[in-house]
Amino acid sequence: MDEFLGLASWLIYAIIANSLATFGTEKDMEGEKTKAMEVEETQVTDVSLKGLSKKLEEFAKERDWEPFHSPRNLLLAMVGEVGELAEIFMWRGEVAKGLPNWEEADKEHLGEELSDVLLYLIRLSDMCGVNLGEAALKKIVKNAVKYPAKAARDV
């Protein structure tokens, strides 16, 4: 759930940042703040790949970004975000499950970068016509056949 709270924060930040650039004053962006809060509530209560996909499509349309969302551009942007995600772990050595020794700010930053990667992956799959949920489930089945549980335990 925490990673999705990071997603909501990212969307709110992006909406407000875009609004400041467009309108210039906080008074002029009251509608955008309300919209951002609605996004946050939706993300926390109803998170699905389909729901995220719809939000991303709306987000891109509202900003006329669709011409820039080609598969190539989205892939390159996602790779950049994976690099930012990797930087968080760089020079830390092994990290325990749950990140018990991390500061809350570091965990929040991690959630933001994970969310960036997820958002680009969802948008990329949409632009390529791939049902990401279905493809992921098929891949799990394929991996189960390739790596049977009994054989994996006997290693």
- Kind and range of the H or E run holding 151: helix 149-153
Class of domain 66-155: mainly alpha
Q: Are 111 and 13 in contact (CB under 8 A)?
A: no
pLDDT digits (tens, 9 = 90+) for 92-111: 999 999 999 999 999 999 99
Residue 31 pLDDT greater than 90, yes or no = no
DSSP string, 75-87: HHHHHHHHHHHHH
d(CA 43, CA 60): 17
Q: Are 60 and 69 in contact (CB under 8 A)?
A: yes
Q: What is the pTM of this model?
A: 0.71
As a whole number, the mean pLDDT across the chain is 83
The upper half-sphere exposure of residue 153, i.e. CA atoms within 13 Å in the direction of its Cβ, equals: 4
Q: Where are the domains of the chain?
A: 1-47, 66-155
pLDDT digits (tens, 9 = 90+) for 57-82: 999 999 999 999 999 999 999 999 99
